[in-house]
Amino acid sequence: MTTLAIIGAGPGLGAAVARRFGREAFDVALISRSQEHLDALADELRQDGVQARGFAADVRDHQALTAALDAATSALGPIEVLQYSPVPHKDFMKPVQYTSPQDLQGPLEFSLFGPMAAVEQVLPDMRSRGRGTLLFVNGGSAVRPHPERAGTSIAFAAESAYARMLHDSLATDNIHVAQLIVPGAITTGDPHTDPAVLADTLWALHHKRGDFRHYASPMNV
């Protein structure tokens, strides 16, 4: 069995990515905070022919997150693709002049320590199998800091640096690391940011590999 794990799975992008990879015979592990919502999404995906199961965990609880990934591996098989794409909390987006060091703890737990814990969990098996893909999905503030969204901007920049270093260091292990930047909102019907369009892009990042950073739509940086 080949498994995709989506951290931050929901009815928009997560569901679209699950369907896209499901068409390629991937089983899908859905990870987010609510088991009830995950079970409903998994049921919906199974009706579309996608073998999916939900595993509840808060990304800021690293023990729970690694336990969810371990349970997913036991239930569905080794994780070949890991996507990290949870939506940050609104309270991470204070203006920079009102952001204290304490205000950065949550964003960094969410956008840096969370993905680090997830990668630490799945990477040994990817290395032993000789293949794998790590996909990071971020907003535009990852490359253009927004002074009204200081916590997310700082944490996304840290996540970007971490992911880029993984890209450079894991290539010799046949593990591909890529980042998709989505400027603005994910919008159904938009030619660039519709969930199904983004899902096709993420499949291409896994399947075709290539460079580290990709943009869902043009962005002057």
Q: pLDDT at residue 1 above 50?
A: yes
For residue 174, tell me if it sits in a domain: yes
Q: What is the rounded CA–CA span in Å between residue 191 and residue 26?
A: 26
Q: What is the pLDDT of residues 84-107, one digit of tens each?
A: 999 988 888 889 999 999 999 999
| Mean pLDDT of the 112-130 span | 97
Q: pLDDT at residue 221 above 60?
A: no
Q: In a 3-state reduction of DSSP, which class is residue 161?
A: helix
160 conformational bin, left if phi > 0, alpha if psi -120 to 50, beta if neither: alpha
Check: pTM over 0.85? Answer yes or no: yes
Domain count, the chain: 1
For residue 221, tell me if it sits in a domain: no
Domain holding 56, by residue range, is 3-188+198-215
Q: In a 3-state reduction of DSSP, which class is residue 52?
A: strand
Q: What is the pLDDT of residues 187-203, one digit of tens each?
A: 999 999 999 999 999 99
Q: Domain holding 91: CATH number?
A: 3.40.50.720
For residue 193, tell me if it sits in a domain: no
